[in-house]
Amino acid sequence: MNYPVWNLTTYGGGFLIALVAIVHVLVAHFAVGGGLYLIMLEKRAYRDNDSGLLDYVKKHSKFFLLVSMVFGGLTGVGIWWTIALLNPAATSVLIHTFVFGWAAEWVFFLTEIISLFIYFYTFGKMNRKNHIIIGWIYFISAWMSLFLINGIIGYMLTPGAWLENQNFWSGFFNPSFWPSLVFRTGISLTLCGVFGFITAAFVKNEVLRQKIMRTCAAWAGIPFVLMIVGGWWYLKAIPEPAITNILEKSPVTTDYFILLAWTMAILFIVSMVMVIRLPNSFQRVLSFVIVGIALVYFGAFEFVREAGRHPYIIYNHMYANQVYVKDVPDVQKAGFLPSAKWTEHQQVTDANLLAVGHDLFKFQCSACHSIDGVLNDIKPLVKKYDNVFGMDSKLDGLGKLNQYMPNFMGTREERWALANYIVSSLNQVDDLNMGNPVVEAKELPVTIPPFNKETDEYVLLAWNNLGMHCVSDSDPFWILLPPANDIYAQLVKRGDSPEIITEGVEISYQVQEGFEYPENQVRFWEFADKLLGANLAPGVGIGGLKVSGVMKLEEDHRAFTAPFLPVVPYPADGSFNPYPIFTITAKDKETGKVLMTTKTVAPTSTEMGCKNCHGGGWKVAGVAGFTDETSLDVLAAHDKNSGTNLVERAKNGEPMLCQSCHADPVLGTKGNPELLNFPAAIHGWHANFLTDREGMQACVACHPSRPDGPTQCFRSHHSEFMDCTNCHGTMEDHSLSLLKGELEAGKKGAARLMENLRARTVDSVADINPRTPWINEPDCLNCHEDFEMGSTVDAFNTWTEGADGLYRNRHDQMEAMMCEACHGSTHAVYPATLNKLGANRDSIQPLQYQGNDRPIGNDCTVCHTVQPEFEGHHPNSLRL
């Protein structure tokens, strides 16, 4: 932040440093071991009185001088030039921390220069013993340069105790110093043989050439022992988070690590091939190929080492974007713009939004990402973000669950500016509404069934027990919920003392026209056997029922049920309708006489917002459904973060039910007992990307609840004065309650997801009560104490004790009527007038029996032929 940034766009993202550094470091390591190679071959030539070999050594020394001293010296200057311009803050730390080390290194480097020039220009002119001594002076000086640079470079990855004591020797002899020194010494010796192949290939005498080739192969091969031992030791010395990034969390780094292993093996094998007597022309070509392999090998090693530091440039001390770790809290509080010295703008406004975003990208992203470049090009990585909200969510989650990138540093407004810049300027998209069209309300016709209070003997009440069932029509790849809507019904025989009828009657259900064949609208039945292990006939749901049939008595509730009806929100005309209507009919079993008919909606939606962050857009009618692109990206994200192979399996015809691994009480799946249950896992993960959102912004990003959307899960009159967070808490609080339940159950993944979440509704995480999803839920009586009109609209953090206490399972105090029979479904309790497809669609029965949209019982004579004088169902029931 304290230096200007040289933004190279196409050639940024570390490309220029990598280009110069990899070549230089390869040559620099050759310069170390190459001195020993010259000495040993010169001594061998003297011992064997081999003039041909001595002539080769002299010629090789010229090659060595040009490559190591001239070319190596130029690239060395190039490194200082590039790092000083591209990361001046880190360069400054290295200089000021290791002044003595640099001074000593320059002494040895100067000794290298002088001794190598003397060695070359006095070849054959100086006393043999003295000439060998000069060679030894060069080699020792070169290795001491490696010794010193190794300490400084190793400090950047493993600063060790230096972080606490700032002591030179703690930083220099850091945890990776000795293993790195062994590893680099092995590389240096191997490169002697690798580069020796080039000069040996141009020796004209075939016998001498093969002799030198065998010598070079030995130099290239034997030091592999040091490289393997040093490499293993090196990995042991690297901090665990860095190892996790290298081997698991960063796919690119993992690829380089695999490349490193392969090229190491290939380098050894090809070097051994040079022992074979090959045509000279082939040897010449192959010698350069071997150097190329060595360059790739060294490049892979340097990339892995550099990436191991991510998100830092100096581990746990300075981030890659030149921000000191200790400064982050202040930057997050004050904002990045006021904290940085070289930004043009000091605050975000509507007028400078994109300009600020560009500045923030330059200062926080360009150190690692190029624009249209060959290294870490940002565009492919953010291509799927076609809306600012999704991009902002990704930035919000940086550095929290995967530490190979730093957190975004700055205020929410600054983060929004960067998200706008990426989406608008880089992705060329201008869509602030996330690709979600505003859906205008429309009145679809609803016929209210007749009811005559004077002559009708029965009242038939029917409802959907959840108020909304979400379906993920991503069947070829994965599902989190199959088509499975539950309908309940209770038949009441009217009288002075009304009676619930459970015997001698048949209650049937019939879906409205256009929804009769869900198997033609979604592909669930093609994959049901793979997803659920159930061989379902087309149109038959997981409960064995179709969308028309006969309900069964559930004696515990004294209600008839049609569980898991496979209804989908897609009528045959290709439109989207999340509120199909079912006609419910009660008949006398003996006579077949129709006792009463009513209607109810079976709310079902595929308007789940995965595409907001995973790309792909909507599949059906531009408002709902999962495209293949969205579905695959969800799996790809899971594979990337959890080490699974779900994309591969899906493409091979093996889609997954999420709850087959993650237990879920609502589906009754056991899952893997070591993994978080599904609600805790999905909410806990995504909460880290959706912190500090206003109101129910986080809720509607995923659930079908946005006010301008087609579904609107929350349709009750309650939504006029409260939102999702009043019952379920903010995204953070909701997730923490689930995660705390899993933490108490000993699930190891819970703590990781909780680490960056802060309680918002209550004072601290400790104040949030843990719960089991679908079992421990907010209770209506949290607000409606003693069934009175509550003085608060805060139901969060006090949970039902078990499934019997859930609103959808609860009965009145007479243990007769189910609460939902009279009050309506969860999320759509009466009056429920906010349905986009018609104000009466969720209130058919109150309108049928009472002529108003109030709860059933607003007029007691609906069921009671004589007006009751006491509150039989629950306190305050006469005031409904």
Q: What is the pLDDT of residues 849-862, one digit of tens each?
A: 999 999 998 888 99
Query: pLDDT for 537-548, tens place per residue?
Result: 999 999 999 999
For residue 426, what is the DSSP state? I
SS3 373: coil
SS3 799: strand
DSSP H helices in 717-811: 724-728, 731-744, 749-754
For residue 512, what is the DSSP state? P
Query: pLDDT for 104-152, tens place per residue?
Result: 999 999 999 999 999 999 999 999 999 999 999 999 999 999 999 999 9
Report, as an integer, the average pLDDT of 707-714.
91
Amino acid letter at 220?
Answer: A
Q: Spell out the residues 6+ positions from residue 722 whose beta carbon is closer than 8 angstroms to its own.
A: 793
- Least Cα distance to 634 among 451, 411, 477 occurs for 477
pTM for this predicted structure: 0.90
Distance of CA 39 to the CA centre of its chain: 54
Contact at 8 Å (CB) between 78 and 233? no
- pLDDT confidence of residue 242: 82
Encode 240-276 in three state secondary structure: HHHHHHHHHHCHHHHHHHHHHHHHHHHHHHHHHHCCC
> Element (H or E) spanning 414, and its range?
helix 412-420
Is cis: bond before 831, omega within 30 of 0?
Answer: yes
Output the CA angle 13-154-78, nearest 5 degrees: 45
Query: pLDDT for 639-658, tens place per residue?
Result: 988 889 999 999 999 999 99
Sign of CA dihedral 615, 616, 620, 622: positive
The yes-or-no verdict on residue 789 having pLDDT over 80 is no
- pLDDT confidence of residue 879: 62
- pLDDT confidence of residue 880: 55
Report, as an integer, the average pLDDT of 370-397.
93
Task: For residues 498 and 808, give the distance between their C-alpha atoms in angstroms, rounded to a whole number.
Answer: 22
Percent of the chain at pLDDT > 90 equals 80
Token pair recorded at residue 363: 């200062």
Give the least confident one: 201-205, 433-437, 685-689, 765-769.
Answer: 433-437
**Alpha carbon separation from 111 to 108, 138, 143 (Å, rounded):** 5, 7, 12
Topology of domain 323-426 in CATH is: Cytochrome Bc1 Complex; Chain D, domain 2 (1.10.760)
Amino acid letter at 754?
Answer: M
- pLDDT confidence of residue 677: 97
- Least Cα distance to 613 among 430, 468, 419 occurs for 419
**Residue scoring higher pLDDT (731 or 748):** 731
SS3 45: helix
Report, as an integer, the average pLDDT of 778-797.
84
- pLDDT confidence of residue 433: 66
Q: What is the length of the chain?
A: 880
Token pair recorded at residue 140: 């020792």
Give the least confident one: 102-106, 810-814, 875-879.
Answer: 875-879
- pLDDT confidence of residue 431: 66
Query: pLDDT for 243-297, tens place per residue?
Result: 877 777 676 778 888 898 999 999 999 999 998 888 999 999 999 999 999 999 9
Report, as an integer, the average pLDDT of 374-392.
93
218, burial (CB in 10 Å: exposed 0-12, middle 13-18, buried 19+): middle
Architecture of domain 458-605: Sandwich (2.60)
Task: For residues 263 and 224, give the distance between their C-alpha atoms in angstroms, rounded to a whole number.
Answer: 13
